[in-house]
Amino acid sequence: MRNSMVKNVLVNGASGRIGRAVTFNLIQLIDQGNSELEFAAMNDPIGIDNIVDNLMAHDNTHGKYDWRVERTTSEMIEIKTNKGHFFIKAYAEKSLDRIPFKEDGIQIVEECSGFFGDDKKEKGKIGARDFLKYGVETVILSYPAKYADKSLVMGVNNNEYDAGKHRIISNASCTTKAIATPLKLMIDCGFDITAY
């Protein structure tokens, strides 16, 4: 019987550079016994065969990931690691209407495509809210977004997370994530940091 506390995750933009890293880290978490997450599905409009090829490709930052990725059916891929096998539904959809979020029980979306950030035409609107219409509880953007409910950086302000209020979370920019943690450590150690 499935643990009701387990959250089903979909990675959107799974085969891009950030999506691939998120996919690998999610697999590692589950491999290490994290029982709170289940990797239920991924989506990338480039096509399922291209998703497989991109996941197997050499990464300029991380090298080649330690996994084997194969397409097993028209909507399923298998990721094999040293510790186990993961069967993950794979979609190649541009329209969210064509992804069965409720049927797949998706509660968390890791949004790595870049297409659901701040609306360029309508101030105050963010595309990530569209996921909530399909029963998704939380959307985590891998990029900055002014109109997210909260921007969180692990190790810096993640203790401010409130599940009731923060349904659209921005994980900030790469630059912010790179500098925020060492700056926080310096401040916590008593260094005075003044911007000029």
Query: How many structural domains is the chain composed of?
Result: 1
For 47, the domain range is 7-188
- Say which CATH number the domain at 168 has: 3.40.50.720
- The answer as to whether 166 is a domain residue is yes
189 catalytic residue (yes or no): no
59 pLDDT band, cuts 50/70/90, is: confident
- The answer as to whether 144 is a domain residue is yes
pLDDT for position 68: 93
- The answer as to whether 1 is a domain residue is no
- The catalytically annotated residue of 72, 158, 174, 185 is 174
Q: Which residue has the tokens 């096998």?
A: 85
62 pLDDT band, cuts 50/70/90, is: confident
Looking only at the bridges linking them, the beta strands covering 138-141 and 106-111 are parallel
Alpha-carbon gap, residue 130 to 175, rounded angstroms: 27
The string of DSSP codes covering 102-137 is HHHTEEEEEE-SSTTSB-SSSTT-BTTHHHHTTT--
Q: Are 127 and 154 in contact (CB under 8 A)?
A: no
- Tens digits of per-residue pLDDT, 132-144? 999 999 999 999 9
- The answer as to whether 96 is a domain residue is yes
| Paired tokens of 62 | 């991380």
Provide the percentage of residues in the chain whose pLDDT is more than 90.
63
- The answer as to whether 175 is a domain residue is yes
- The answer as to whether 133 is a domain residue is yes
What are the C-alpha distances in Å from 22 to residues 18, 27, 32, 34, 40?
A: 6, 9, 15, 15, 14
60 pLDDT band, cuts 50/70/90, is: confident
- The answer as to whether 36 is a domain residue is yes
- The answer as to whether 12 is a domain residue is yes
